[in-house]
Amino acid sequence: MDTIECIRTRKSIRGFKPQPVLKDILNEILETAVWSPSYKNSQPWEVIILSGGKKEELSKMLVGLYEKGTPPCPDIPEPKVWPEAESARIADLYRSRAEASGINFDDPEVLKKAKIANFRFYRAPHAIYLFQDASLTPWSLFDLGLFAQSLMLSAHAKGIGTVPQAFATDYAQDIKRFLNIPETKRLVLGISIGYPDPDSPVNTFRTNRVDISEIVKWIE
């Protein structure tokens, strides 16, 4: 798979086979991702990979916190307001997902199921957490985003699916205690990773992209 094809065909996977990914393959994915660019080559990223019983234990804890009504407290707060253009794209996503699935994503029960699925890492065999020192500036958040993209593209090139998950960081303090991540670190992103299940209906949906004329200005 060449680079252009890899970028264009990657998508978020939410239906996984139970088959674990070999540790050597996960290492190869990460060894590729570390070649991501970063400001002054600071490489401001750290990674934890969870599998097996430990992942299930974390999932159980997160689902329990959610079902008890524990208020989420992620290290990076969820946006409450979006500019007009971005808000329209989000609304289009919900509309197209509803049309494809017949599910109303404004229904609180649907949202509840979606959050629980996040906390269970969509039954993927592995969960990844990306974090960094909390004193780092937004430049380093940008760098970690580049690392996450490289990780997901590297996985896709090997036939392995991923989905980035903001909800998976909702209970950041509890997660950090569970994973022995110091309080001085900022939990940024969760990623489910594993082999895609081709028979899962959820994997048939794909988001669209705006035409570049909406985001590009040519100045000559």
Sheet holding 161-165, edge to edge: 46-51, 126-133, 185-194, 161-165
What are the C-alpha distances in Å from 85 to residues 88, 140, 159, 219?
5, 26, 33, 22
CA distance 121 to 133: 24
Domains of the chain in start order, with CATH, are 10-79+119-203 (3.40.109.10)
| Strand extents, DSSP E, 116-196 | 126-133, 161-165, 185-194
CA torsion, points 105, 153, 7, 113, in degrees to nearest 10?
-10
Spatial separation of the C-alpha atoms in residues 160 and 32, rounded to whole Å: 14
The pLDDT value recorded for residue 103 is 79
pLDDT by residue for the chain (220 residues), tens digit each? 999 999 999 999 999 999 999 999 999 999 999 999 999 999 999 999 999 999 999 999 999 999 999 999 999 999 999 999 999 999 999 898 888 887 787 788 888 999 999 999 999 999 999 999 999 999 999 999 999 999 999 999 999 999 999 999 999 999 999 999 999 999 999 999 999 999 999 999 999 999 999 999 999 9
Backbone phi, psi, residue 178, to 5°: -65, -40
Q: What is the pLDDT of residue 126?
A: 98
Model-level pTM?
0.95
